[in-house]
Amino acid sequence: MTDSSQVTYTQHSMPRLNEPAPDFDAVTTHGRRRLSDYRGKWLILFSHPADFTPVCTTEFMAFARAHDKFAALNTELLGLSIDSKYAHIAWVRSIKENFGVEVKFPIIEDLSMKVANAYGMIMPGADDTSAVRATFIIDPEGVLRAMVYYPMSNGRSIDEFLRLVTALQTSDANKVATPENWQPGEKVIVPPPQTTEAAAAREGEGYEYTDWYFSKKSLENA
């Protein structure tokens, strides 16, 4: 006999950092969008639990207000939820009418949950099909560089995603790392030496030296 109280669900694989982001071809509020459409640009793909909900509304307004700042970083925005494009359209119209904020970026209609499942936006065993607050940063080569998950009850910090994109771009351009809460203009971390000979020489290389494995430098003086 089968225990009818048992709940089964399909396990979907999670995307992996530093590997190609899952491809998609989806209907959005701006027409069809494919991952390849964003080649040569950074992309922030983010999901929200549902349209016409208060926390999601605050997040969308924050993303919308930061739209030009992301554009200055060669970064596009793309939203997603398990709602129809008509619900999305009605919601962004409501946001503009009630809050005076225009949402200029597209939102994916994902009623089939194909994109949400490919990106791990729906938690295994969840009691509904709402996507969590997941955010994915994809680089111009289509590689997934960062992903962040938030609970249903708490909104994201959009300023943190601006900071993170800037940090990733800085690391790529200068072959450096960035410390905790790094802000543009602050010193960056020099990659540690890879040999004992290089470690011995590090102190005399002109960096802000603390120990052989920990040195900083200013990019302005590089």
CA dist 106 and 32 (Å) reads 9
Structure tokens at 118: 């490919």
Alpha-carbon distances, residue 46 vs 1, 117, 171, 183, 187 (angstroms): 43, 13, 23, 23, 30
Structure tokens at 73: 């970083």
The catalytically annotated residue of 21, 56, 61, 134 is 56
Residues 6+ apart with CB under 8 A from 73: 42, 162, 165, 166, 169
Per the listing, tokens 């999901």 go with 47
- Does the annotation mark 56 as catalytic? yes
CA dist 58 and 132 (Å) reads 15
- The Cβ of residue 48 has, within 10 Å, a number of other Cβ atoms equal to 29
Task: Supply the residues annotated as catalytic.
Answer: 56
